[in-house]
Amino acid sequence: MNNFNALLRQIPKVDLIFDLLPKTITIQMDQEQVKMIVDEELQQLRHKILKGTLESVDESGLIINITRRIEAQLSPNLKRVINATGIVLHTNLGRAVFSKRTMKHLYNTMTHYNTLEYNLNLGTRGSRYDHVEKLLCKLTGGEAALVVNNNAAAVMLVLNTLAMQKEVVLSRGELVEIGGSFRIPEVMKASGCKLVEVGATNKTHLRDYENAITTDTALLLKVHTSNYQIMGFTSDVSRKELALLAQETKIPFYEDLGSGAMVDFSLYGLKREPLISECLSEGVDLLSFSGDKLLGASQSGIIVGKKLFIDKLKQNQLLRAFRIDKLSLAVLEDTLIQYLNQETATSHIPTLSMLSATSETVLQKVTYFIKKNQTMLEKIGLRYTIEEMQSQVGGGAMPLEQMTSYGLCLRGDRQLNLIQNKLRHLQIPIICKIDEDALLFDFRTLFEDDYESLANGLEMVLRGDENE
């Protein structure tokens, strides 16, 4: 007991701890918040003493722990990372990266009042949807357009508006599940419509749709299977066939495109995704897709098509719950403006730039990095090489497509999982892959302003790990 008491007396007073904490850190937080952290650390210290697991009180260690906890609370969890995975639309890492031009526009718009719902011509209240509707119509050929906060909301809004308590016909081969275990049948159920499945998983014919149509049918639905492919003994019904059937039966034809493409990615060696403009020209009445996938903009659900149906969507009370916020809207508008010149859009919009980059371009990037940091790389205790890698599109788009890429490969007799973990815990985390006993850093998804942080992070982790 005497030993416990002696240790307890060694615990510094709260006032002394406050004096020892860095003022540059504590000034950023209310003193009550700092005191809570100090009290929690002291409580843990007393608990260890009474359990007999602590032999001495380390005052400097205590100050370091408290300082780190304060810094952790002041540091946002949503932070910049270096994506060295080669996955362009990495869902876990924020999907589409915005261009510097767009961020400049966002800063200028959001650090001041703006015209979110103000009509400058009339001097009266305006609509937030007007900012992008004409742009979307011009780029896609649609009669009208509407934007909500994501594509799942777009799907629900369309189904709820046009098919509430009525039947929607959909092929069994298109009953997709998107990220986070959200499934089309469940979304349809939540929207208040009744799913009528037709055909088989691998084969659906036009007659299957024709036989399913009743007086209660409100919508023909097609879902683009962008996140998987069924191969082999398969067949489906084309857009043009469904459009003709919709015209004959006077039933609206709606397609959930998932990852909408404005450019022909086959020009860059990737699979050709259906272009939004082509889908509409083939007779689709309404089409929805995500803004933060192949489009390369902010999270949003974009609906384009015939004005008759868009006008109905605008009257649905759910639109208020699904509406897009001003930050996403500003990013989307500026990205769409860049699409007015597709040649420059490919180089200026980061998603398009990364997807269209040739393997030779990526090789030049990693070669430049190694040449600039050769001295550091020779001192980290791992063998380094430039090796061919396979990048992916990501974001549930083109799941089977791979792009030949190049990157930095590190090998050696070290615990790679431990190194990978330490790289993730840097001030600017580095996210890389491990494959065949090597750390892989794919340069397709690296930006030039990542290079210095990557070099510093590698040196800090690898040279520190070597000395442990």
Angle at 278 between CA 276 and CA 280, to 5 degrees: 75
Instruction: State the pLDDT at residue 8.
Output: 83
Distances from the Cα of 371 to the Cα of 85, 176, 366, 375, 376, angstroms: 21, 46, 9, 9, 10
Among candidate residues 242, 233, 165, the one with its CA nearest the CA of residue 209: 242
Q: How confident is the model at residue 229 (pLDDT cuts 50, 70, 90)?
A: low
Over residues 1-11, the pLDDT tens digits come to: 557 778 888 88
Neighbouring residues of 420: CB distance < 8 A, sequence distance ≥ 6: 432, 434, 439
Residue 262 has pLDDT above 70, yes or no: yes
Common-topology check for domains 82-91+354-467 and 100-348:
no
User: Is domain 82-91+354-467 given the CATH code 3.90.1150.180 in the classification?
Assistant: yes
Q: Are 294 and 397 in contact (CB under 8 A)?
A: yes
Neighbouring residues of 450: CB distance < 8 A, sequence distance ≥ 6: 82
Report the chain's C-alpha Rg in angstroms.
28
Instruction: State the pLDDT at residue 260.
Output: 87
- What residue ranges do the domains of the chain occupy? 2-74, 82-91+354-467, 100-348
Over residues 263-312, the pLDDT tens digits come to: 999 999 898 888 999 999 999 999 999 999 999 999 999 999 999 999 99
Instruction: State the pLDDT at residue 465.
Output: 58
Over residues 102-159, the pLDDT tens digits come to: 999 999 999 999 999 999 999 999 999 999 999 999 999 999 999 999 999 999 999 9
Query: Phi, psi (5° rounding) for residue 361?
Result: -65, -45
Distance CA 90, CA 403 (A): 15
The residue type at 137: C
Express as a percent the part of the chain with pLDDT over 90: 72
Instruction: State the pLDDT at residue 398.
Output: 81
Coil, strand or helix at 339: coil
Topology adopted by domain 100-348: Aspartate Aminotransferase; domain 2 (3.40.640)
Angle at 162 between CA 156 and CA 165, to 5 degrees: 85
Q: Hunting for tokens 């192949």 — which residue is that?
A: 294
Distances from the Cα of 315 to the Cα of 218, 308, 311, 318, 328, angstroms: 18, 12, 7, 9, 22
Distance CA 173, CA 196 (A): 13
Tell me the CB-side half-sphere exposure of residue 23, using CA atoms within 13 A: 1
Neighbouring residues of 182: CB distance < 8 A, sequence distance ≥ 6: 152
Q: How confident is the model at residue 232 (pLDDT cuts 50, 70, 90)?
A: low
Q: Are 295 and 349 in contact (CB under 8 A)?
A: no
Over residues 380-437, the pLDDT tens digits come to: 889 999 999 999 999 877 877 899 999 999 998 889 999 999 999 999 999 999 998 8
Distances from the Cα of 293 to the Cα of 10, 56, 166, 213, 290, angstroms: 57, 55, 31, 33, 6
Distance CA 184, CA 171 (A): 11
Torsion sign, CA atoms 130, 132, 137, 143: negative
Neighbouring residues of 115: CB distance < 8 A, sequence distance ≥ 6: 126, 131
Query: Phi, psi (5° rounding) for residue 255?
Result: -125, 130
Instruction: State the pLDDT at residue 413.
Output: 86
Coil, strand or helix at 186: helix
Over residues 177-187, the pLDDT tens digits come to: 766 567 788 88
Tell me the average pLDDT of the chain: 91
Instruction: State the pLDDT at residue 179.
Output: 60
Instruction: State the pLDDT at residue 227.
Output: 56
Instruction: State the pLDDT at residue 357.
Output: 96
Over residues 51-109, the pLDDT tens digits come to: 888 878 888 888 999 999 999 899 889 999 999 999 999 999 999 999 999 999 999 99
Q: How many helices (H) and strands (E) does the chain have?
A: 21, 18
Per DSSP bridges, beta strands 144-148 and 167-171 are unpaired
- Distant-in-sequence contacts of 116-121, Cβ < 8 A, 24+ apart: 116/326, 116/329
Distance CA 432, CA 423 (A): 8
Residue of 225 and 279 predicted with greater confidence: 279
